[in-house]
Structure 1
Amino acid sequence: MTTYDHDYQTDEPHTGLFHWYLEHRAVTRPDEQAYTYSPLGLVNATDETATWSELNEEAGQLAADLANEGVDPGDFIATLFPPSPHYAVTYFAAAKLGATLVPLDLRGTPTEHQYVLDATSPAAFIGARQFRETNFEAILDDVTAFSDIETTYWLAEGYRESLPDQSEYQWTIVDSDGTVDRSTTAGCTDPDTALLVVFTSGTTGDPKGAVLTHRNVVFQGTAISSVWDVSEDDTVLVHLPMDHVGGSTELMGSAIVGGSELVFLDAFDPSAALAQIEAHDVSILGNVPAMWGMLFNDENYAETDLSSLRVGIVAGQAPSEDILRGMAEAADTAVTGWGLTETGGFVTLTGLETPVEEMLETVGRPFPGFDVRPIDDDGSFLSAGETGELVVRGDGVMERFLADEHNEDAFVAEEWARTGDLGSLDDDGRVRLRGRKKNMYISGGYNVYPPEIEDTLTDHPDVAQAMVIGVQDDEWGEAGHAFVLARPGSELDSDRLDEFVDDHLADYKCPVDYTIESELPLTSLGKIDRQALLENYDLNPV
């Protein structure tokens, strides 16, 4: 089996500790810019920049204050921030202390926040009072578990001035020359300490809290930095939600491990994103397909100078050929990959030289340190070319789920994490996805994988997004109901779509029903929300 034949090229020691990278840069590159931020949606925030030493100092101050308030290693710290310096400071403060950060969903309801806070019982909360028109403080006032949190910090005027000196947290694990020193620290020195809890979307049952360690997050940053050559010469736009691995581990993790400058965009707006890319020479841009589409369709796109873009990344959903080719035109190279919350982000990555044609068929190879195998329903490993549920092991795999009941069927042979994704490996070790195991349905005796139908639907010029859900059907036993998000101004109808799909797919794969809308419920990453469809439409799902 072929894997990537290279290691992460750096003289830096791999401590496995996330905050070491910040502290190391604060010593070796103290006056270089760490981030730029211009608030778009965060109320009571101002334009700001900071050097690595300034970012480290503020994180140390917050860590010291949290320690003074009684927050201990192993405690949970809840936070509610968009992508911003405030989140970064909180992230690193928790890392220094050995506490575990619990990012809340900006779009979460009181019921959803109650579930997460009940599951974690945080010792502290740090967050923003308001984001655009949403009053977080008012929402959290309706959350019983929030009132049980002993220490709360709200973003407000004078917040920074109230923080104490760093005291013993000034250099947690770094000597004055930037090397590792664990001998005199009061902070976290164990890379297997829990750093983040990221809750899965909960498309079946309650959301599951994946516990990610320092080692997991650093491994993710190392993988991306290695394969896609992320370094101190790069500038990364950080704009994906912080309660997802896309924001907290993939973008921030790779930027911090690689030593890149961060540009925070706290709310995704295509015009604002284009302006930030041009103004700050952003070289690394990662989006879900829907975000790339919004950029390409923005009225300012053609006039924006994108010459700084070196790598365009797409993940979270299979991209269309149009999206991939648009990315390849916008950036020097387009890349993709596959992963999940339980692995801290990417498991497989395509190389910088991978052609678009190959990315339409594969999501790349596992990064060294990850093993990927397909298994059958009995848990037996399958051979190359055979399709089964993909399982993963390696340093990036989560420590566990928070709730014991969620761990009962999470692993195979104790070390292989189930992904719920169906796929195969070819003779060169490339992973080919077939869809979600739980979303597959059997129509006329044939296995049907919704992503294949969704890809066909989105090839239609009037379709922006599509999602297919398996439903009970009198004729086929099970069949597909397609939800289609139409492009503005289009005149789509089910007859046209049926004719289009019939020309491209076998009859048993063609949906039996279509719901065509100009608006559909979306997730925070801009994808059609499957759970919301199941809740809001009268379906009889398989």
Structure 2
Amino acid sequence: MFLQRMGNRGIRLGTLFERAASRHPANVLLLDRELDIAPDRGRTMTVTEVADLVDDFGSRLWRAGARPGDHVVVHKRNAFDITLLAIAAARIGAVPVLLSPHLDGGTVTALLRRVERPFLITDAEKLTGELPPEVHALSRRVLLASGTAEHATPLAELAGAPRIPAMAMPPEHPTLVTHTSGTTGLPKLAVHTSFGLEARYRPQSLATAFLRRREPVAIHVSFVHSRLFTALAIALLRGFPVLLLADAEPRRTAALFATLRPAVLEAHPNTYLSWEELADDPLQPLANVKLFSSTFDALHPRTVRTLIGASRRRSARFGQIYGQSEIGPSVARSYGRHRSPDADGRCVGMPFPGMTRVRVVSRDGRRPTAASPGHIEISSDGRIRTYLGEQQRFDGQAAEEWWRMGDLGYRTRWGCLHLTDREVDEIPGFGSTLTVEDRLLTRLPELSEVVIVPVDGGPPRPVVCTADDRPLDGAAWRAAVVDLPRMTAPVHWRRADLPKTGTTKVRRLELARLLADRGPGQDPR
């Protein structure tokens, strides 16, 4: 493997803040929401203060009975203490299992069964209002980040626990469990090792390598996603002030960015799509951004152009990394003001030399092309160890060192990887839905989202969202689709009503089901 030859010691999650504090003790962490576990700490803390908080809560978990190798499930309302509790658990050698605040009680219960009697950290509101009573039987002990409830122990009651030194676990030991997006059903539980997370850190660390000053970094990434941990490590170990956003609502974000003036942004593609309106904000919240970074799905060309255009930095760049929770960052590319993403369509980039490899496996015996894409497979040391409780399912996607991404695409003669569709979203005979969606967003500036879903027995149907939910111009729509594959009339939905995952991906299969239940939509013309 690539990084074994480079002496990979693992990312050591449990001591991340401690090590950052030893290098840059006065560096600051800023939040847009108070911590439920320590609301008195406010929204601004030094890295030294955060390190002490992690030490404190790791010791409280030890007093609660958690020991090295035990699973600690964290499922609470959305706040950065989700991440801090995970690091606190890792500090004492336990394995944090992070479940999105957006998961429903039935899904949480099903995932708890896979973990087999873990410690459960939640809050009183979720425990009494969203989770079924059986979570008590499925958990070894229920702990509360906030509030009080019967048969549960508030973490506040464990204050003053004797401090426990950090446990040094082997690099190949599980250090974190996160779940997949769940766009195709019940999420899978991905088991990360310290070795694997360190392998992901190295290619992503290139994002800040070219910044000469320690300028602010703003991050809006799901607090239960593995990407957040490597993004934090990159910024904090290099001394960059960090703003962590729980809420990406554009107006609130504009005010925060206008004050902080971040130089680096890290966010989900759909978050960037919603932030397009910041480009015209009189506060100029994006003026100081030198690097826009995204480590998830491919971005819409219109979004890339709009956000780069809002920066006043001479060499502003948009860095796009294609990857997956199970494998980490795999291929990358960047855009500047004079390199339009329109010219390359859905090219998501090239592999990281010496770190990742990519191949596309034919489905019909011929070389994969845009007209006949193949299965995208990645080789990387960042691959997860297994799916917790589903080893057979993991083995179905892993072939020796290669990992099947579940995406379709092809490579050009120059080696650039092009993404056409998710396998489960492919519509036979239609071509790339992602490419068509890109073209519609480019041609119709009033669109804030467009998702093309299949329809039984007929052409696919586009679901469209518009800025401020304004009516769609029928004539403009007809002009925009004249040279595109055949579709039915669009259905106009509020963007807030689209079913989404914790990382803001649209759950296309769920949307198709809702559309079928709703019946034929009204043509907005």
TM-score (norm: length of structure 1) = 0.80
In structure 1, distance between residues paired with 2:276 and 2:48: 37
Matched residue type, 1:531: L
Aligned to 1:363: 348
Give the secondary-structure state (helix, strand or coil) at the position aligned to 1:484.
Answer: strand
Q: Is the 8 A contact 2:226 2:325 kept in 1?
A: yes
Match of 1:510 among 478, 482, 486: 486
Q: Deviations over 1:113-162 (max 9, x none)?
A: 11121121353233444xxxxx3232354251245423333234996684
1:464 paired with 2:460, answer no
Aligned to 1:374: 360
Match of 1:409 among 368, 387, 396: 396
Check 1:458–1:229 CA distance in 2 against 1; reply closer, same or farther (3 A cut).
same
Deviation at 1:416, TM superposition (A): 0.8
Q: Please show how residues 123-202 of structure 1 align to structure 2 within 5 Å.
A: 123-129=118-124, 135-156=125-146, 162-164=158-160, 167-169=163-165, 172=166, 187-202=167-182
Check 1:301–1:189 CA distance in 2 against 1; reply closer, same or farther (3 A cut).
same
Deviation at 1:374, TM superposition (A): 0.6
Check 1:318–1:143 CA distance in 2 against 1; reply closer, same or farther (3 A cut).
farther
In structure 2, distance between residues paired with 1:278 and 1:359: 33
1:333 paired with 2:317, answer yes
**Greater Cα offset, 99-108 or 34-43:** 34-43
Check 1:119–1:143 CA distance in 2 against 1; reply closer, same or farther (3 A cut).
farther
Deviation at 1:384, TM superposition (A): 9.4
Matched residue type, 1:451: L
Check 1:298–1:27 CA distance in 2 against 1; reply closer, same or farther (3 A cut).
closer
Deviation at 1:165, TM superposition (A): 5.5
> Structure 1, unaligned stretches of length 5 or more?
1-6, 130-134, 173-186
Deviation at 1:462, TM superposition (A): 3.0
In structure 1, distance between residues paired with 2:240 and 2:123: 26
In structure 2, distance between residues paired with 1:400 and 1:13: 20
Aligned to 2:104: 109
Deviation at 1:315, TM superposition (A): 5.2
> Structure 2, unaligned stretches of length 5 or more?
148-153, 520-525
Q: Please show how residues 52-451 of structure 1 align to structure 2 within 5 Å.
A: 52-81=47-76, 84-129=79-124, 135-156=125-146, 162-164=158-160, 167-169=163-165, 172=166, 187-229=167-209, 233-246=214-227, 248-249=228-229, 251-256=231-236, 258-297=238-277, 301-314=281-294, 316-331=296-311, 332-344=316-328, 346-351=329-334, 355-357=339-341, 360-368=345-353, 369-377=355-363, 387-402=373-388, 403-412=390-399, 414-443=400-429, 448-451=431-434
Give the secondary-structure state (helix, strand or coil) at the position aligned to 1:338.
Answer: strand
Deviation at 1:420, TM superposition (A): 0.9
Check 1:294–1:436 CA distance in 2 against 1; reply closer, same or farther (3 A cut).
closer
Deviation at 1:253, TM superposition (A): 4.5
Give the secondary-structure state (helix, strand or coil) at the position aligned to 1:497.
Answer: helix
In structure 2, distance between residues paired with 1:221 and 1:442: 38
Give the secondary-structure state (helix, strand or coil) at the position aligned to 2:177.
Answer: strand
Q: Deviations over 1:385-413 (max 9, x none)?
A: 9841111111111111121232241112x
In structure 1, distance between residues paired with 2:43 and 2:65: 30
Q: Is the 8 A contact 1:336 1:359 kept in 2?
A: no
Matched residue type, 1:510: R
Matched residue type, 1:239: H
**Greater Cα offset, 77-86 or 457-466:** 77-86
**Greater Cα offset, 15-24 or 528-537:** 15-24
Give the secondary-structure state (helix, strand or coil) at the position aligned to 1:67.
Answer: helix
* Paired positions, count: 494
Give the secondary-structure state (helix, strand or coil) at the position aligned to 1:481.
Answer: strand
In structure 2, distance between residues paired with 1:440 and 1:373: 20
Q: Deviations over 1:316-363 (max 9, x none)?
A: 44433321112212342222121111113x222224769333664422
Match of 1:538 among 496, 516, 520: 516
Q: Is the 8 A contact 1:487 1:518 kept in 2?
A: no
In structure 2, distance between residues paired with 1:223 and 1:434: 24
Check 1:141–1:398 CA distance in 2 against 1; reply closer, same or farther (3 A cut).
closer
Aligned to 2:150: none
Deviation at 1:61, TM superposition (A): 2.4
Q: Is the 8 A contact 2:10 2:194 kept in 1?
A: no
Deviation at 1:237, TM superposition (A): 2.0
Give the secondary-structure state (helix, strand or coil) at the position aligned to 1:60.
Answer: helix
Q: Is the 8 A contact 1:211 1:399 kept in 2?
A: yes
Q: Is the 8 A contact 2:67 2:94 kept in 1?
A: yes
In structure 2, distance between residues paired with 1:363 and 1:258: 28
Percent sequence identity is 18
In structure 2, distance between residues paired with 1:109 and 1:14: 37
Match of 1:452 among 421, 427, 435: 435
Q: Is the 8 A contact 1:458 1:466 kept in 2?
A: yes
Give the secondary-structure state (helix, strand or coil) at the position aligned to 2:481.
Answer: helix
In structure 1, distance between residues paired with 2:182 and 2:274: 26
In structure 2, distance between residues paired with 1:22 and 1:44: 17
Check 1:104–1:426 CA distance in 2 against 1; reply closer, same or farther (3 A cut).
same
In structure 2, distance between residues paired with 1:200 and 1:161: 33
Check 1:273–1:128 CA distance in 2 against 1; reply closer, same or farther (3 A cut).
farther
Aligned to 1:32: 26
In structure 2, distance between residues paired with 1:299 and 1:283: 15
Q: Is the 8 A contact 1:227 1:352 kept in 2?
A: no
Q: Is the 8 A contact 1:114 1:146 kept in 2?
A: no
In structure 1, distance between residues paired with 2:86 and 2:334: 30
Give the secondary-structure state (helix, strand or coil) at the position aligned to 1:39.
Answer: coil
Give the secondary-structure state (helix, strand or coil) at the position aligned to 2:187.
Answer: coil
Give the secondary-structure state (helix, strand or coil) at the position aligned to 2:265.
Answer: strand
In structure 2, distance between residues paired with 1:204 and 1:529: 8
Aligned to 1:529: 507
Give the secondary-structure state (helix, strand or coil) at the position aligned to 1:292.
Answer: helix
Check 1:51–1:316 CA distance in 2 against 1; reply closer, same or farther (3 A cut).
same
Check 1:26–1:244 CA distance in 2 against 1; reply closer, same or farther (3 A cut).
closer
In structure 1, distance between residues paired with 2:15 and 2:335: 28
